């Protein structure tokens, strides 16, 4: 077995003035857990999850030490995009329950010292929203310019070459009024016109209702797309596109990340700050798929030196989802992100969501544990996707049961873009339908075939299960000043497939060592400390062992959290 010399090197030491974990804000210490309400727990027997179902599972969530729930949209919706097509921003979709059910859920979460973030979808409404009904009624309706309408091109076709993420042009002709409306997603999701100040005012008013109801913040859908080029100019072709989803055949220089979007975000943030009192911050989490330099702008600026910026508290950082999965690439990516953060920017990391392949499918079950350890030991707020804690994998959906419009509208790339596989019902137990809905009911998406072996119930009795590992890890994180705190130093591990980094705070020094490869190693870590004890390992088998660090065995696909002596 090769011996590897590990020399500590300080890279990107960050000292951001928030060193003691006691001074961290709630959202800096949080673990965000995304619930996809349709798939979590059905309490009414219609095969679709609902709010009472989530209430039934609050103790489970508390028990796995996640403390901030983000619910995918629960507003009334015709469900063309499963809730991301909102017909009424302040109501609750009857499939999910009532406003009273929501209040009960919020109270239940708060009573358990948990927070609740709602999904806000301001970029577009449903075509069944009352605003759009008025807007499309005729060209002179006062709400006409609440949406983005344009004359046809000279040949009668769409006004420009913009494309929809769900296939085809981003424009649909309204035959009644003879103009096209813009939709970057489904044709049933017309885009609001934020160049009209009345639209922003209206959206802020809708947000206010939820803030009054007591929510702790919003995850804002496609926040970086909210403003489009005023002149509706064509987008240039992407010369590197060589097939796959057509949306990537263009460079989105006129439909995304427009400078004016920051004015909107600052207004949203100012509203949240208005509802923020000491110890009761309301937060803004932005969905943004952009490279570092442009992503960082979404923290805003910090003229008042409050340490938190004036735009998103957390502009989602999705880089772990797309990263090439090898130790060097991940280390380089983490270090580059850390280096790019503004001084007031608190980092965050995401491993999965309802739009992306599940982590256990992407990386396999062994590396999924390594990735989980990475997510929960990096500096910054982690976001977790429901069911990943029991190692749920993507479920192949037979063509006749495919529901996601992104797949239905683009059959030629359906396997690549379809999102149903990662949205299947949660596995609670070994009864038919996994305890998600009654045995005699057909769930809205099929339950995975392996649900009985991979359920919350079956894993409860197996201390080596993903669930136990996740729970031990979240517990450790929530109790550890070093893991919560703001210091991060990446190290030279000496082995190209091992990523090692140090987290330190309040006299706690933790070394995280992650083997991304299939080779065992002996690491010489004695330059950092003579000895250390293992607090947690990905196999849940080595805790408490004291090791002299001149020859620390590290198994293939293994991750260790070591407390340095
Ligand atoms: C976001 C959501 C996705 C949705 C789209 C349109 O990317 O995460 O699920 O389809 O926006 O709202």
CA distances, 310 to each of 22, 267, 293 (Å): 23, 9, 17
Higher pLDDT, 508 or 10: 508
* Residue 6's pLDDT band (cuts 50, 70, 90): low
Q: Where are the domains of the chain?
A: 24-126+195-474, 130-182, 485-564
Mean pLDDT to the nearest integer, 130-136: 98
In short, whether 469's Cβ falls inside 6 Å of ligand 1 is: no
Which class in CATH covers the domain with range 24-126+195-474?
Answer: alpha beta
pLDDT surpassing 60 at residue 15 = no
Q: What is the mean pLDDT of the chain?
A: 95
Q: Which of 221, 388, 389, 558 is catalytic?
A: 221
379 touches 14 (CB < 8 A): yes
State both tokens at 491: 């190290």
Distance 121 CA to ligand 1 centre (A): 8
Q: Which residue's CA lies nearest to atom 5 of ligand 1? A: 84
Least Cα distance to 146 among 192, 203, 89, 187 occurs for 192
Crossing angle for the helix pair 99-111 and 197-213, nearest 10 degrees?
60
Radius of gyration of the chain (CA): 24
CB atoms closer than 10 angstroms to residue 361: 18
Q: How far is the CA of 400 from the centre of ligand 1 (A)?
A: 23
For the CA of 354, the closest atom of ligand 1 is 9
pLDDT higher than 80, residue 16: no
The alpha carbon of 81 and the centre of ligand 1 are apart by a number of angstroms equal to 8
Say if ligand 1 is within 6 A of residue 185 CB: yes
Task: Give pLDDT tens digits for 257-300.
Answer: 999 999 999 999 999 999 998 879 999 999 999 999 999 999 99
Q: How far is the CA of 222 from the centre of ligand 1 (A)?
A: 7
Pocket of ligand 1 contains residue 221 by CB under 6 Å:
yes
Is any atom of ligand 1 closer than 6 Å to the C-beta of 488? no
- Does ligand 1 come within 6 angstroms of the Cβ of 222? yes
Q: What's the gap in Å between 387 CA and the centre of ligand 1? A: 19
CATH no., domain 130-182:
3.90.400.10
Residue of 72, 75, 82, 84 to test ligand 1 pocket, by largest number of atoms within 8 Å of CB: 84
What residue's CA is closest to ligand 1, atom 9? 355
Work out the end-to-end distance of the chain between its first and last CA atoms, rounded to an integer number of angstroms.
Answer: 26
pLDDT tens readout for residues 305-328: 677 899 999 999 999 999 999 999
Q: Is the CB of 310 under 6 A from ligand 1?
A: no
Q: Do the Cβ atoms of 344 and 308 come closer than 8 Å?
A: yes
> In 216-342, at which residue ranges do the beta strands (DSSP E only) sit?
217-220, 283-286, 314-315
Nearest residue to 73 via CA among 82, 64, 63: 82
Q: Ligand 1: which residue has its CA nearest to atom 3?
A: 355
Ligand 1: residue of 222, 223, 353 to mutate (most ligand atoms within 8 A of CB) is 222
Cβ of 81 closer than 6 Å to ligand 1, yes or no, is yes
Question: Which residue's CA is the nearest one to ligand 1's atom 12?
Answer: 84
DSSP 15-38: --S--SGGG--HHHH--EEEE-GG
The residue contributing the CA closest to ligand 1 atom 4 is 84
**Is the distance from the beta carbon of residue 355 to the nearest atom of ligand 1 less than 6 Å?**
yes
The answer to whether 49 touches 354, Cβ cutoff 8 Å, is no
Is 51 within 8 Å of 96 (Cβ atoms)?
Answer: yes
Catalytic residue check, 287:
yes
Substitution site in 38, 81, 288 for ligand 1 pocket (most atoms within 8 Å of beta carbon):
81
Distance 256 CA to ligand 1 centre (A): 14
Q: Is CATH 2.130.10.10 the right assignment for the domain spanning 485-564?
A: no
**What is Dmax (Cα atoms) for the chain?**
78
Kindly give the residue spans of alpha helices, DSSP state H, lying in 31-98.
51-56, 58-63
Rounded Cα distance, 15 and 489, in Å: 10
pLDDT digits (tens, 9 = 90+) for 140-199: 999 999 999 999 999 999 999 999 999 999 999 999 999 999 999 999 999 999 999 999
d(CA 284, CA 266): 10
Residue with tokens 């009532």: 98
| 113 annotated active-site | no
Helix, strand and coil in the chain, % to nearest 5 = 30, 15, 50
85 Cβ below 6 A of ligand 1: no
> Which pLDDT band holds residue 9 (cuts at 50, 70, 90)?
very low
* Contacts (Cβ under 8 Å, ≥6 apart) of 93: 73, 74, 75, 76, 77, 83
Determine what percent of the chain is predicted with pLDDT higher than 70.
96
Which residue among 81, 287, 394, 555 is the active-site one? 287
């Amino acid at each position: 077995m090769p011996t590897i010399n590990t020399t500590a090197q300080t890279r990107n030491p960050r000292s951001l003035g928030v060193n003691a974990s006691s001074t961290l804000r709630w959202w800096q210490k949080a673990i965000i857990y995304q619930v996809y309400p349709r798939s979590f727990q059905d309490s009414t027997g219609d095969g679709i999850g609902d709010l009472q179902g989530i209430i039934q599972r609050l103790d489970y969530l508390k028990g796995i030490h996640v403390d901030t729930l983000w619910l995918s949209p629960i507003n009334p919706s015709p469900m063309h995009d499963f809730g991301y097509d909102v017909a009424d921003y302040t109501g609750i979709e009857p499939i999910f329950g009532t406003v009273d059910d929501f209040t009960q859920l919020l109270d239940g979460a708060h009573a358990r010292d948990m927070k609740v973030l709602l999904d806000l979808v301001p970029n577009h409404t449903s075509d069944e929203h009352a605003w759009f009904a008025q807007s499309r009624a005729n060209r002179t309706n006062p709400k006409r310019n609440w949406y983005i309408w344009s004359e046809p091109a000279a040949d009668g076709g769409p006004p420009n070459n913009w494309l929809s993420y769900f296939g085809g042009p981003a424009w649909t002709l309204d035959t009644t009024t003879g103009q096209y409306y813009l939709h970057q997603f489904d044709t049933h999701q017309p885009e609001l016109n934020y160049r009209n100040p009345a639209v922003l005012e209206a959206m802020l008013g809708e947000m206010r209702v939820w803030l009054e109801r007591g929510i702790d913040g919003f995850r804002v859908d496609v926040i970086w797309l909210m403003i489009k080029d005023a002149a509706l100019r064509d987008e240039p072709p992407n010369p590197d596109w060589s097939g796959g989803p057509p949306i990537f055949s263009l460079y989105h220089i006129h439909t995304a990340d427009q400078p004016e979007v920051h004015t909107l975000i600052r207004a949203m943030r100012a509203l949240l700050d208005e509802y923020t009192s000491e110890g009761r911050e309301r937060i803004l989490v932005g969905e943004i798929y952009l490279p570092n330099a442009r992503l960082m702008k979404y923290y805003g600026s910090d003229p008042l030196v409050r340490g938190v910026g004036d735009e998103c508290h957390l502009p989602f950082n999705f880089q772990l989802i797309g990263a090439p999965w090898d130790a060097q690439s991940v280390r380089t990516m983490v270090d580059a992100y850390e280096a790019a953060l503004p001084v007031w920017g608190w980092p965050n990391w995401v491993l999965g969501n309802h739009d992306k392949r599940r982590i256990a499918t992407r990386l396999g079950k062994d590396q999924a544990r390594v990735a989980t350890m990475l997510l929960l030991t990096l500096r910054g707020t982690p976001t977790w996707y429901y069911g990943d804690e029991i190692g749920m994998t993507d479920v192949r959906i037979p063509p006749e049961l495919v529901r996601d419009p992104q797949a239905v509208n683009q059959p030629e790339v359906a396997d690549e873009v379809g999102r149903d596989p990662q949205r299947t019902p949660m596995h609670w137990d070994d009864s038919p339908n996994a305890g998600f809905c009654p045995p005699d009911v057909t769930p809205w998406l099929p339950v995975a075939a392996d649900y009985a072996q991979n359920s919350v119930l079956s894993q409860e009795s197996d201390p080596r299960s993903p669930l136990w590992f996740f729970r031990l890890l979240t517990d450790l994180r929530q109790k550890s000043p070093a893991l919560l705190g703001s210091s991060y130093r990446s190290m030279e591990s000496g082995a190209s497939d091992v990523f090692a980094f140090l987290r330190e705070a309040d006299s706690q020094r933790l070394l995280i060592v992650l083997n991304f490869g299939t080779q065992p190693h002996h690491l010489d870590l004695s330059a950092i400390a003579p000895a250390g004890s293992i607090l947690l390992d990905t196999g849940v088998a080595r805790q408490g062992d004291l090791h002299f660090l001149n020859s620390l065995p590290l198994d293939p696909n293994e991750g260790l959290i070591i407390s340095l002596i």
